[in-house]
Amino acid sequence: MTVKIAARHVSAFYGDVRALDDVSIDIDTDHVTALIGPSGCGKSTLLRTLNRLTDTVPGARVEGDIRLDGRDIHGRDMDVVELRARVGMVFQKPNPFPKSIYENVAYGPRIHGLARGRGELDAVVETSLRRTGLWDEVKDRLSDRGTALSGGQQQRLCIARALAIEPEVILMDEPCSALDPIATARIEELIGALSGRYAIAIVTHNMQQAARVSQRTAFFHLGRLVEYGDTSDIFTNPRAERTKDYITGRYG
Ligand SMILES: Nc1ncnc2c1ncn2[C@@H]1O[C@H](COP(=O)(O)OP(=O)(O)OP(=O)(O)O)[C@@H](O)[C@H]1O
Ligand SMILES: [Mg+2]
């Protein structure tokens, strides 16, 4: 097992509200990690702490230790732009830039200097779109606006945009909740194809989805990590009563 992100004793606050309470969790490269739990339990907050998106929230504060490949992400030598390039994020609502399909994907590699010249940039765009299965659908309309795509296509475009800057970790916050079952199945397939190559953490309210895509599952409740283990164990043999209640649909 290769630990990519090690979070230790992480607490997060929005003003006086404690959203995360002493959470310790490893996100590793060899598994997809599902984060589950009732609304408001801190799943999105945890993802935000991992690439310091919490820095951008006024009044938010994070305590504890988070390491990426052993390096303190709050350390003085950690460049937050580099951190967010290495730890990519995909949100619940597809959020393509108001630019062309091509530019949506090319933007990151260009500002991070990952491609030299148009030829290299074209190649990065094509490879990223191919990885999300979008290339054949959009190759003849690369100059159309990203926002003109269907919801499922937009979400795959956002994943392609994240992949284009060669991240090491991909954090996904309910990436399928706005999508129909067919688009959802495509994203789930894609997660399967990307796993092993990237460390992936996905927040989902869909228990079947967690069971299908992940090998590790973390159950949160009221800002605390209640239980973390192999997905098959969590779903068939949870240790905590609260986990059992949640996965059997008794609350949440
Ligand atoms: N920007 C914010 N300002 C103030 N409080 C916030 C902010 N974002 C989240 N919170 C609070 O922090 C707690 C955790 O919220 P978070 O969004 O992390 O939960 P979640 O598990 O992702 O919920 P959901 O499943 O509904 O998305 C909640 O009590 C929420 O109200
Ligand atoms: Mg959330």
pLDDT tens-digit readout, 40-59: 999 999 999 999 999 999 99
Whole-structure pTM value: 0.94
Mean pLDDT confidence for 101-117: 94
Full residue range of the structural domain in which residue 12 is found: 3-97+168-247
- The total number of structural domains that make up the chain: 1
**Residue 125, domain member (yes or no):** no
**Residue 231, domain member (yes or no):** yes
Backbone CA torsion sign across 26, 27, 30, 33: positive
The bridge status of strand 71-72 relative to strand 169-173 is unpaired
Q: By alpha-carbon position, which residue is closest to atom 30 of ligand 1? A: 40
**Residue 71, domain member (yes or no):** yes
**Residue 30, domain member (yes or no):** yes
pLDDT score, position 139: 98
Q: What mean pLDDT value characterizes the chain?
A: 95
Mean pLDDT confidence for 129-143: 95
**Residue 156, domain member (yes or no):** no
The structure tokens listed for 221 are: 């409740």
Q: By alpha-carbon position, which residue is closest to atom 28 of ligand 1? A: 40
pLDDT score, position 183: 86
Q: Over 198-236, what HEC string results?
A: EEEEEECCCHHHHHHHCCEEEEEECCEEEEEEEHHHHHH
pLDDT score, position 251: 66
Backbone CA torsion sign across 201, 191, 37, 162: positive
**Residue 105, domain member (yes or no):** no
**Residue 202, domain member (yes or no):** yes
Helix (H) or strand (E) holding 73: none
Instruction: Indicate the top mutation candidate among 16, 43, 174, 246 to test ligand 1's pocket, ranked by most ligand atoms within 8 A of CB.
Output: 43
- The CATH number that applies at residue 88 is 3.40.50.300
**Residue 152, domain member (yes or no):** no
pLDDT score, position 54: 97
Q: By alpha-carbon position, which residue is closest to atom 7 of ligand 1? A: 14
User: Any idea which of 62-71, 105-114, 141-150 has the lowest mean pLDDT?
Assistant: 105-114
